């Protein structure tokens, strides 16, 4: 079971119940991949302004986005569409990385998609956790793998497929 350390810079996340959602979503992603060691994830609960600063600094994109992830190490698969090198519970692999999530963007996207904020944020936290584990969506085979995992994880949590048109 992962230990999720939540740093709340925007108090609206507390009202939205982010710590409980993070515990549920991140651990569901790890469980789907049979990762049951005491992994650690740091989560920054912030505003669009803060995420835009981070997005500018780390990705060169001066705009807010819903979620950003920084894996503690490179785990990507060498072949598109294959499972990344997952952590094996070794002491040096316990810290999976950091996630930042932006309040205003999440609220807007949930409203635009006619979804609850809870369901949308749960999806984004599953998505961010998978990024920490080396999954990505840069190319079609990797996107199919990652989206399939997200859909399965969310279904187990009673959340509809976010990719269904």
Ordered DSSP codes for the chain: --EEEEEESSTHHHHTTHHHHHHHHHHHHHHHTT--S--EEEEEEE-HHHHHHHHHHHHS--S--SEEEEESS----SSTTSPP----S-GGGSEEEEEEEEHHHHHHHHHHTT--HHHHHHHHHHHHHHHHTT---SSHHHHHHHHHHHHHHHHHTT---TT--
Q: Give the number of other Cβ atoms within 10 Å of residue 78's Cβ.
A: 7
Asked if 149 and 137 touch (Cβ cutoff 8 Å), the reply is: no
Instruction: In whole angstroms, give the CA distance from residue 8 to residue 19.
Output: 9
131 in a known ligand binding site: yes
127 in a known ligand binding site: yes
Give binding residues for Zn(2+) as ranges. 127, 131, 137
Binding residue positions: 127, 131, 137
């Amino acid at each position: 079971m992962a230990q999720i350390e939540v740093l709340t810079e925007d108090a609206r996340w507390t009202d939205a119940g982010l710590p409980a959602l993070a515990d549920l979503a991140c651990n569901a992603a790890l469980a789907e991949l049979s990762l049951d060691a005491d992994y650690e994830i740091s989560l920054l609960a912030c505003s669009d302004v803060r995420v835009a600063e981070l997005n500018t600094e780390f990705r060169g994109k001066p705009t807010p986005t819903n979620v950003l992830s920084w894996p503690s190490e490179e785990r990507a698969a060498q072949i598109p569409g294959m499972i990344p090198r997952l952590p094996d519970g070794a002491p040096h692999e316990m810290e999976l990385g950091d996630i930042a999530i932006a309040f205003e963007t999440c609220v807007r996207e949930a409203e635009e998609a006619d979804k609850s904020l809870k369901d949308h944020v749960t999806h984004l936290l599953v998505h961010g956790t998978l990024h920490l584990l080396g999954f990505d969506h840069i190319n079609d085979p990797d996107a199919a793998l990652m989206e399939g995992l997200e859909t399965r994880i969310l279904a187990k949590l009673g959340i509809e497929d976010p990719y269904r048109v």
